[in-house]
Structure 1
Amino acid sequence: MDEIAVEQSINAPPPPVEANADVITIINSIIDSLDSEQTKELIENTNTQPQTGVDFPIDIIKVDPDDFDLIDVDGRQKKIVKIKDKYCSTVSLSQVIEDGIWSIEIQFANDGETGGIGIVEDSYSVPIGARPEQNPDCRHMASYHGPSWYPGRVCCKGRNKSGNELFTDNQIIKAEYDSEKGTLIFFVDGVQQPVYVTGIKEKIRFIIFMFYGGGTCTIQSLKKITSPTTMNVSNENALQW
Structure 2
Amino acid sequence: MASDLDLLIAELQIQNSTSQKGLSINDYANIRKLGEGGCATTYLAEDKKTGETVVLKRIAVNSEQSQQQAEREINVHSQVDFRFIVKFLANFNDDDDFYIVMEFCPAGSLTDYITKLKETEYCKEEFAWDVLSQLAITINYLHFNRIVHKDMKPDNVFLTANNEVRLGDFGIAKVLDPAKSFATTMKGTPDYVAPELLTEQRFHPAADVWGIGTTLYELLAKRRPFVGKNGEEVMQNVVNKNPPPLPANKYSQALCGVISAMLIKDRFKRIPLNMLVKVPEVNKRVKKYAQEMLPTASDRVKPYLDHLIHDIDTKPTALPPAAFAPSTSGITGGAPIDPNKVTFDVKNPLISKLFRGAPGVYLSRLVQLQSKKSYTLAIIPEIVAGAGVVQIQVKFDDLLNQNRGFRWIGVAYGGFDIPETYYPGQDGQSAGFCGSDGSLVHLTDNAIDKYIDGNESYENGDIVAAEVNMDADKDKRTLHFFVKGKQQPISFIGLPDRIKFIVQRYHQGTSVSILSLQTLPRSSATANDIPEAKVIEW
Following superposition, which runs of at least 4 residues in structure 1 exceed 3 angstroms of deviation? 53-56
Instruction: Select which of 453, 460, 463 maps to 1:169.
Output: 460
Q: Residue 433 of structure 2 corresponds to which residue in structure 1?
A: 144
Q: CA deviation at 1:95?
A: 1.1
Instruction: Select which of 501, 507, 511 maps to 1:212.
Output: 507
Are 1:109 and 2:401 matched, yes or no? no
Maintained 8 Å contact 1:97/1:205: yes
Q: Residue 24 of structure 1 corresponds to which residue in structure 2?
A: none
Equivalents in 1 of 2:502, 2:433: separation in Å?
Answer: 10
SS at 1:161 equivalent: coil
Higher-Rg structure is 1
Maintained 8 Å contact 1:120/1:141: yes
Q: Residue 120 of structure 1 corresponds to which residue in structure 2?
A: 412
Q: Residue 129 of structure 1 corresponds to which residue in structure 2?
A: 421
Residues 193-217 of structure 1, C-alpha deviations (whole Å, 9 max, x = no match): 0011111141111111112111111
Equivalents in 1 of 2:404, 2:508: separation in Å?
Answer: 13
Q: Which moved more, 1:86-95 or 1:153-162?
A: 153-162
Equivalents in 1 of 2:389, 2:346: separation in Å?
Answer: 25
Are 1:239 and 2:536 matched, yes or no? yes
Equivalents in 1 of 2:355, 2:397: separation in Å?
Answer: 15
Maintained 8 Å contact 2:344/2:366: no
Are 1:85 and 2:380 matched, yes or no? no
The residue type paired with residue 366 of structure 2 is I
Instruction: Select which of 498, 504, 509 maps to 1:203.
Output: 498
Residues 81-137 of structure 1, C-alpha deviations (whole Å, 9 max, x = no match): 112224121110121211211000000112141421111111111121221243xxx
SS at 1:84 equivalent: coil
Maintained 8 Å contact 1:165/1:188: yes
Q: CA deviation at 1:238?
A: 1.7
Maintained 8 Å contact 2:351/2:372: no
Q: Residue 153 of structure 1 corresponds to which residue in structure 2?
A: 439
SS at 2:380 equivalent: coil
TM-score, scaled to structure 1: 0.71
Q: How does 1:62-101 map to 2 (within 5 A)?
A: 62-75=346-359, 77-98=363-384, 99=386, 100-101=388-389
Where does structure 1 lack aligned partners over 5 or more consecutive residues?
A: 1-52
Q: CA deviation at 1:55?
A: 4.3
Identity of aligned residues (%): 24
- 1 or 2, which has the higher helix percentage? 2
The residue type paired with residue 222 of structure 1 is L
SS at 1:63 equivalent: coil
Where does structure 2 lack aligned partners over 5 or more consecutive residues?
A: 1-334, 445-449
Maintained 8 Å contact 2:479/2:492: yes
The residue type paired with residue 409 of structure 2 is I
Residues 46-89 of structure 1, C-alpha deviations (whole Å, 9 max, x = no match): xxxxxxx9443312223211111110132561111112224121
The residue type paired with residue 197 of structure 1 is F
Maintained 8 Å contact 1:71/1:80: yes
Maintained 8 Å contact 2:381/2:500: yes
Q: 1:229 to 1:133 in 2, by over 3 A?
A: closer
Equivalents in 2 of 1:96, 1:106: separation in Å?
Answer: 16
- 1 or 2, which has the higher strand percentage? 1
Q: Which moved more, 1:98-107 or 1:55-64?
A: 55-64
Q: CA deviation at 1:139?
A: 2.3
Equivalents in 1 of 2:451, 2:536: separation in Å?
Answer: 8
